[in-house]
Amino acid sequence: MSLLYLLKPGELVLKGGNRPQFERILRSNLVALLKGTGAQISYTNGRLYVCCEEASRAGTEDALKHLAGISGWTQALRCPKTINDILETAASEARVCFDKGARTFKVDCRRTDKSFPLNSYEICCAAGNHILSTLPAFKVDVRKPDVHINIEIREKAYVYGFEEHGLGGLPAGTAARGLLLLSGGIDSPVAGYLMALRGMRMHALYFHSYPYASNEAREKVVELARIVGRYSMGIRLFVANFTDVQMAIKSGAPEAWRVVLLRMAMMDCAARLAHSTRCKALITGESLSQVASQTVENITCTQSRSKIPVLRPLIGMDKEAIIKLSRAIGAFETSIRPYPDCCTLFAPEHPVLHADLDEATALYESLNLGPFIEDSLRNAAS
């Protein structure tokens, strides 16, 4: 049995003359996500349709759940544009919704084909009456129904009930490429996911401190990159060994400054990699005042090492909200695996909380970390 899915575009409908370009990228992303499912894609008058066989249902729906740029999607029934066919199809969809637990309904109609002999109100009335006559236990509720029975009159008629929420946002690839500073924690994968929904494709950079950080910590980040990559249409992961940088900071700087100076070195390294890989912005998982390195003063110091924008999509979010998103994208269980990354190594008991930029700059430059950073980039694995 063939299944038909109707996809609703998200905010790309607001793009005016640029909309065709956004739609082209959306369709290209959908083709990539559906690879191997055998599903077929069609596009008509602002609607994307996906047709697949029952055996490919799971793979097709998984692809739709990971597609940025659509506000929603639903399995729909398609029928000829005759009122009798529409009424019978509406009754059939109503039965499906009733069997899924809905007890009240409302009929909504959108008639883009104005040549159809009945207007939207007349179609709604006819369909509602027909559903009540064939399924008396189903009651009408125009204010808060359990389900909307939707009818769209286009080149054919489409009928659907329950809808799934899409990711919304913009199709990945419609904005510039960013470089995500990806740790093994909860925050940075969520930051990458949120920027993917703003149209960004991205590379990722992980700082590894072998042998102080285990290979399990590295493998955890590889898995997190894969998870984020499902939403951003792929991701290239660079792994920079930062052990020499950390040891230089440990031996050459006051203990309380280690966190700020390490973050400055990371930003320095990331900015250099972004330049060589043509990334237009850095992306971090920083949330204001969540940890010592994320006070306003310390953020000012760390971002001073980058000449390109530093995007912080989590900056105003609390931890509970971030964890909720982490669970939603399937990253949380991986993020909490007990393998520390380099940010937790050599951390001072009492770090500087409100670093002075001039003092931080003087300390950083006195360490002469440039050669260590360049060496870490030359040997970065991807």
In order of 32, 98, 264, the CA distances from 372 in angstroms are 39, 65, 13
Domain 178-378 has CATH 3.40.50.620: yes
Distances (CA, A) of 303 to 203, 207, 218, 300: 19, 17, 25, 6
Structure tokens of 332? 């949380």
**Residue 362 DSSP SS3:** helix
Q: Which CATH class is domain 2-165?
A: alpha beta
Give the per-residue pLDDT at 217: 84
> Where are the chain's structural domains?
2-165, 178-378
Return the closest-CA partner of residue 369 out of 291, 219, 269, 292.
269
Question: Which residue shows structure tokens 């980040």?
Answer: 221
Phi, psi of 160 (to 5 degrees): -155, 155
pTM reported for the whole predicted model:
0.90
Q: What is the DSSP string of 314-352?
A: TTT--HHHHHHHHHHTT-HHHHTSS---GGGTT--SS--
Distance, CA of 334 to CA of 288 (rounded, Å): 24
Q: Tell me, yes or no, if the two domains 2-165 and 178-378 fold the same way.
A: no
Residue by residue, pLDDT tens for the chain (382 residues) are 689 999 998 887 777 778 889 889 999 999 999 999 999 999 887 789 999 999 999 999 999 999 999 999 999 999 999 999 999 999 999 999 999 999 999 999 999 988 999 999 999 999 999 999 999 999 999 999 999 999 999 989 999 999 999 999 999 999 999 999 999 899 999 999 999 999 999 999 999 887 777 788 889 999 999 999 999 999 999 999 999 999 999 889 998 999 999 999 999 999 999 999 999 999 999 999 888 788 999 999 999 999 999 999 999 999 999 999 999 999 999 999 886 665 565 677 788 889 899 999 999 999 999 999 999 998 886 5
Considering only the C-alpha atoms of the chain, give the largest distance between any 2 of them, rounded to a whole number of Å.
83
Contacts of residue 188, defined as CB under 8 A and 6 or more positions apart, other chains included, come to 180, 181, 182, 224, 283, 284, 285
Q: What CA–CA distance (Å, rounded) separates 205 from 240?
A: 7
